[in-house]
Structure 1
Amino acid sequence: MRCRTFWAMRQATRIIRLETGGRGFYDCTAALVDFVRGARMGEGLLTVFCRHTSASLLVQENADPSVLSDLQAAFDRLAPESAQYAHDTEGPDDMPAHIRAALTQTQLSIPVIGGALALGNWQGVYLVEHRRRLHRREIALHLIGE
């Protein structure tokens, strides 16, 4: 007869609330690191979910700020506010914000290895605000592991 040891998987959740100052990239890596550290799990998977349709999430370089400004310029070319959109309920930045969110992600999965996020050396996690005005944004976190 063989005996097996099964470790019970644990879960942790949290909602992070961010005040954005308008369009731009908001580094939320430190908040994710704190959450994972506080959950005290050695191995697992962190799901990060943006609860909005005109904001999104990106894993992107965190060393050279020109990367983020170039990305913003690319978004401006791909989904310009000057285009004619049927959906403009909340102003000229409304539909471009939805397009930019559709081109990026609203959910990320990040492995946790050795109790830390398995991000690369130059990677950070950003909430991307696609609207011009201030917003309160929420990111849902779910960590499963052991």
Structure 2
Amino acid sequence: MYTKEFEIHTGNRAVVHDLTKQATAYLAECDVDNGLLHGWVPHATAGLAVLETGAGSDHDLLAAIDDLLPRDNRWRHQHGTGGHGRDHVLPAFLPPYATVPVLDGALALGTWQSLCLVDTNVDNPVRRVRLSVLAG
């Protein structure tokens, strides 16, 4: 198994950050033909998702999160920016992990799929992402 960890600077706003290029570059370093790429975000307020980006779906996802988990003061977990408690609920809906098959040395994503970090926590501008490859 191969593992690499890197930082993503998400800034001070909710973001969907496409990790596909980093994952593809890392996969090339591992020189694995077939197996699994597993992503992990060691944070209590971020998640990973496989979705289409660049055509508005990333913005739609953030809007859906805002609708489902409003950034207001209903949350018992209260510290940091107002409504931050909802960020701690996010990983129950978007888990901090995702696994993608590797076939013939490439991520076996669908035509419009990307591996993405979803971070709604405006109080933490730097995230760590850990990628591991299990060769098959």
Q: Structure 2: which 5+ runs fail to align? A: none
Change over 3 Å in CA distance of 1:24–1:63 after alignment to 2: closer
Identity over aligned pairs, percent: 27
Find the partner of 1:109 among 81, 99, 102: 99
Find the partner of 1:36 among 27, 31, 48: 27
How many residues align? The count is 135
Distance in 1 (CA, whole Å) between partners of 2:80 and 2:123 is: 11
TM-score by length of 1: 0.86
**Post-superposition offset of 1:105:** 1.6
1:1-146 matched pairs, under 5 angstroms:
11-21=1-11, 22-64=13-55, 66-145=56-135
**1:42 alignment partner AA:** D
Question: What's the RMSD between the two structures over aligned residues?
Answer: 1.4
**Post-superposition offset of 1:128:** 0.7
Distance in 1 (CA, whole Å) between partners of 2:94 and 2:82 is: 20
TM-score by length of 2: 0.92
**1:75 alignment partner AA:** I
4+ residue segments displaced more than 3 Å: none
Alignment match, 1:6: none
